[in-house]
């Protein structure tokens, strides 16, 4: 894997292996952990622009940033109304963030039916208007999208060019259509067609669960970097693997994640979140089913810590 810094407007990442935004998971603690393991850039969970404008408590919690948070601070927002998108980008809540990423690839039905996420790939003029308005906040803007809504409507190159023309400083392309959700082969050719046409960085996303797959994605697309998504949930140490960095003691890293999650979030959230994370981390291990059952019965931090102490990674 050829590592390099990526220039996004006036920002420079430490390398070209990124953590993609993951709804429900990429909170500040998980992002900081992945950054410390080698990720060159991490993104927040996607945040509703209207939720920000209407002062939603749940939305504000997604934007939590500790004072010692490291690296470029990147937030992902979604919406279909250019006015609200600009208001969100200029809001006090997003002031601490350096980079604003716009979600134009989410395939979830309730997002799609609202004309948001991947639905914007079918309305290039509106998508461009959104990028133009968000860029008025004065921060670098990136866009994450897919190859199209389905195989009959592949728009990767044209959509990427339109985003660049509208003012995007980087694009991340998930190499699947909206109807494929998160399964099926990655369309290398579609990402490559966009990379060949653009002058801004192109990050390839989809199907990266190992160094070999990261290298294949880079080789077959010519992309400037890769974004790791679901693989990071099961194995956040993949960033050390891909970047060639040292792999620290895994249990110590996870203990730190648990402690910081309880430090920055309320107990109820921390219990539910860390039960889910430990269930991911033990996938494929002996007796994992029994351990998961015990995990999901945990009602306090001490019980989770006791299970973690007896695990081997």
List, by residue number, the catalytic residues.
106
C-alpha angle with apex 26: 22 to 29, nearest 5 degrees? 170
CA–CA separation, 82 and 127 (whole Å): 9
3-state secondary structure at position 145: strand
Is residue 293 within a helix (H) or strand (E), and if so which, with residue range? helix 288-295
CA–CA separation, 65 and 68 (whole Å): 8
**Residue whose C-alpha is closest to residue 262's, from 275, 249, 247:** 275
H helices of 68-170, in order, are: 82-89, 109-113, 124-135, 156-166
Q: Which is it for the CA torsion 270, 275, 278, 279, positive or negative?
A: negative
- Residue 78 has φ and ψ, to the nearest 5°, of -140, 155
CA–CA separation, 290 and 86 (whole Å): 48
Q: Give me the half-sphere count of Cα atoms (radius 13 Å) on the Cβ side of residue 29.
A: 21
139 Rama class: left (phi>0) / alpha (psi -120 to 50) / beta:
beta
* Dihedral angle of Cα 123, 85, 202, 218, to the nearest 10 degrees: -100
Is 240:247 a contact under the CB 8 Å cutoff? Answer: yes
């Amino acid at each position: 894997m050829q590592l390099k810094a990526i220039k996004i407007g006036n920002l420079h990442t430490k390398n070209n292996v990124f953590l993609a935004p993951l709804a429900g998971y990429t909170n500040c603690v998980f992002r900081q952990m992945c950054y410390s393991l080698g990720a060159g850039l991490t993104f927040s969970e996607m945040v509703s622009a209207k939720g920000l404008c209407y002062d939603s408590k749940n939305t504000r919690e997604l934007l939590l940033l500790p004072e010692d948070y490291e690296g470029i601070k990147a937030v992902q927002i979604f919406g279909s109304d250019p006015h609200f998108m600009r208001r969100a980008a200029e809001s006090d809540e997003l002031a601490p963030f350096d980079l604003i990423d716009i979600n134009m690839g989410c395939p979830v039905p309730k997002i799609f039916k609202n004309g948001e996420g991947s639905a914007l790939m079918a309305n290039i003029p509106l998508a461009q208007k959104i990028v133009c308005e968000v860029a008025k906040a004065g921060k670098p803007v990136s866009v994450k999208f897919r190859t199209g809504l389905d195989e009959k409507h592949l728009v990767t190159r044209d959509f990427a060019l339109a985003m660049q023309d509208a003012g995007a400083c980087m694009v991340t392309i998930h190499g699947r259509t909206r109807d494929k959700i998160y399964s099926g082969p990655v369309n290398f050719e579609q990402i490559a067609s966009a990379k060949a046409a653009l002058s801004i960085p192109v990050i390839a996303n989809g199907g990266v669960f190992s160094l070999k797959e990261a290298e294949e994605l880079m080789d077959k697309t010519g992309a400037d970097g890769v974004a790791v998504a679901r693989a990071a949930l099961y194995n956040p140490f993949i960033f050390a693997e891909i970047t060639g960095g040292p792999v620290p003691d895994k249990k110590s890293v996870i203990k730190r994640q648990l402690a910081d999650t309880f430090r920055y979030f309320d107990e109820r959230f921390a219990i539910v979140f860390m039960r889910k994370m430990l269930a991911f981390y033990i996938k494929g291990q002996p007796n994992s089913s029994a351990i998961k059952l015990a995990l999901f019965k945990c009602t306090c931090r001490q019980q989770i810590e006791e299970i973690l102490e007896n695990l081997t990674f």
